[in-house]
Amino acid sequence: MKGKPILPPVYFSATYQFDCTDDLVDVVQNRTGFIYSRWDNPTVFEVEKILANLEGYDNAIGFGSGMSAITTTILTLINKNSRIITVRETYGGTFAFINKLLPKLGIQTIDVNCDDIDTLKAEIKKGATILYLETPTNPLLKVIDVKPLADLAHKNDIIVILDSTFASPINQRPMELGVDITIHSATKYLGGHHDITAGFVCCQKEYFELIWDCRRVMGGILDPMTAYLVARGLKTLEIRVLRQNENAIKIAKFLSKHKKVEIVHYPGLPSSPYYEIAKRQMKGFGGMLSFEIKSDFEGTKRFVDNLKFIKIATSLGGVSTLATQPVTNTHVGLSEEERKKSGISDSLVRISVGVENPDLIIDDIKQALDKV
């Protein structure tokens, strides 16, 4: 057949046939082909290669969700004597898994405010199995200076894992910062159209075989149709993210001057305490921002409920602009005390900026703020 498909074909087969037993044994022992789609799938394999190349790692591993990528990776690397250091500002599901579920297995977990660098370094020097970071953080857009922490972790034989979902491979290259394993929720920027749930782990060969085998056992592999949609999303990733970067800075500047806004959390504003780190560590400041309204929960809810162009929805990173109050969904699983420690107030609004005309987004925010 002349001509090749621009996107990888979708292989829906659950199992694969062989001409002889020797061929089957070769695939089982050496992974020279495909045998069963819980193990691997040609469409998934192709998109894994695309993302690995984009991130600069040897390998990528596809999962059915970002949380599946996170939990499988951590479970692969720990044992009964493990100690995990993480930042308090991790995604709510990650926080719950590390700090609520893993201690039931006898795993020691330490969470430190990402701004408390001295404590973080002190804990790293005590030793651990994993240092788990997330930057920029959700939903306050804090930016962690990764390289010094990664260098210190490696001196203490600690594996460094980073959730880079908020940045995307366009705005941040974790491997260049010394990160051993990079995780993405592909539900967000990689897919980019609010229509998939997926996750990926990017790593070098020393971790690839271990994590791949754990995925095979636990059954969290990405399905082939979703893999095809991720491949489609990656085709436009850079165009979308660059547009979202541009839109977000315009919206952040507008909000920073509005009389009903207390504070804007966006690392692209020179007033942000994370501006210099973000400017050095990232290529763009991202399409995520949050801000606190000069009101209480009810007033903030009134703002959200009066949005017309912007959609009220959880998740992020897609082509449409979304808004949400973290206390009502993304961080609802945390106690009031835990939210207070993480700086999540009742008046906080998170916006995932889309690719639309920024004037339409700003006009909608303006009219909704008038109702507060």
Catalytic residue among 111, 163, 223, 346: 163
Alpha-carbon distance values, 178 to 100, 175, 185 (Å): 28, 5, 20
Q: Which residues are registered as beta bridge partners of 202?
A: 60, 182
Q: Across residues 113-120, what is the average pLDDT?
A: 97
Q: Across residues 151-155, what is the average pLDDT?
A: 98
pLDDT tier, 336 (very low <50, low <70, confident <90, very high otherwise)? confident
Which residue's structure tokens are 């903030």?
A: 300
Which pLDDT value is given to residue 364? Answer: 98
CATH superfamily, with its number, for domain 237-369: Aspartate Aminotransferase, domain 1 (3.90.1150.10)
pLDDT tier, 341 (very low <50, low <70, confident <90, very high otherwise)? confident
pLDDT tier, 181 (very low <50, low <70, confident <90, very high otherwise)? very high
Known catalytic residue at 163: yes
Known catalytic residue at 188: yes
Could you state, in order of their start, the residue ranges of all structural domains in the chain? 21-235, 237-369
Q: Across residues 222-231, what is the average pLDDT?
A: 97
Q: Across residues 156-174, what is the average pLDDT?
A: 98
Q: Which of left, alpha, beta for 292 (phi over 0: left; psi -120 to 50: alpha)?
A: beta
Helix/strand/coil for 5: coil
Known catalytic residue at 38: yes
Which pLDDT value is given to residue 329? Answer: 79
Catalytic residue among 142, 188, 215, 350: 188
CA neighbor of 109 nearest in space, from 129, 134, 77, 85: 85
Domain 21-235 identical in fold to domain 237-369: no
Q: How far apart are alpha carbons 30 and 312 in whole angstroms?
A: 48
| Per-residue pLDDT tens over the stretch 291-308 | 999 999 999 999 999 999
Helix/strand/coil for 60: strand
Catalytic residue among 26, 38, 216, 250: 38
Catalytic residue among 11, 57, 91, 274: 91
The listed CATH number (3.40.190.10, 2.60.120.620, 3.40.640.10, 1.10.3720.10) that belongs to domain 21-235: 3.40.640.10
pLDDT tier, 340 (very low <50, low <70, confident <90, very high otherwise)? confident
Which pLDDT value is given to residue 120? Answer: 98
Q: Residue 344: pLDDT above 90?
A: no
pLDDT tier, 3 (very low <50, low <70, confident <90, very high otherwise)? confident
